[in-house]
């Protein structure tokens, strides 16, 4: 799996958009970008994934650059419950492929 680079921590004001960057410059053509988050002492939660097009779901938006070397996860209106560690992972299409977790970004949403 390609490696990813994320800032160790970020702060965001409650109600504002949280933009979490991720660099994955060695991503292969058949690898997807997955985002998960882990709230303290819980299992990781799937957020969103994409290959090359931008994606949006009820939780977040994923913006992938045209060269696919970086991406940004956007939480449009952050709440206190969004405080968590966010992991950006590149992997082949889910199924039997393991996910390798990096250190992630600790997002703190501030009242």
Partner 1 sequence: GAVVSQHPSRVICKSGTSVKIECRSLDFQATTMFWYRQFPKQSLMLMATSNEGSKATYEQGVEKDKFLINHASLTLSTLTVTSAHPEDSSFYICSAGGQSGYGYTFGSGTRLTVV
Question: In this complex, which beta carbon is closest to partner 1, that of residue 33 or of residue 78?
Answer: 33
Which lies closer to partner 1 via its Cβ, residue 5 or residue 46? 46
CB of residue 47 to partner 1, shortest distance in Å: 8
Q: Which two tokens stand for residue 106?
A: 């600790």
User: 81 by DSSP, 3-state: which?
Assistant: helix
Interacting residues with partner 1 (CB under 8 A): 32, 34, 36, 38, 41-47, 49, 87, 93-104
Instruction: For the CB of residue 15, give the shortest distance to partner 1 in the complex, in Å.
Output: 27
Residue spans of beta strands (DSSP E) within 31-104 = 31-38, 45-50, 55-56, 61-64, 70-75, 84-92
Cα–Cα distance for residue pair 84/50, rounded to 1 Å: 21
Q: Least distance (Å) from partner 1 to the CB of residue 102?
A: 6
């Amino acid at each position: 799996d390609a490696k990813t680079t994320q800032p160790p921590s970020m702060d965001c004001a409650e109600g504002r958009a949280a933009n979490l960057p991720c660099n994955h410059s060695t991503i292969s053509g058949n690898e997807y970008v997955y985002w998960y988050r882990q709230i303290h002492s819980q299992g990781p939660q799937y957020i969103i994934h994409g290959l090359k097009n931008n994606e949006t779901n009820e939780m977040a938006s994923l913006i992938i650059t045209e060269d696919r070397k970086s991406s940004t996860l956007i939480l449009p209106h952050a709440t206190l419950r969004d405080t968590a560690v966010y992991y950006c992972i590149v992997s082949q299409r889910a199924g039997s492929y393991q996910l390798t977790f990096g250190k992630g970004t600790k997002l703190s949403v501030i009242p």
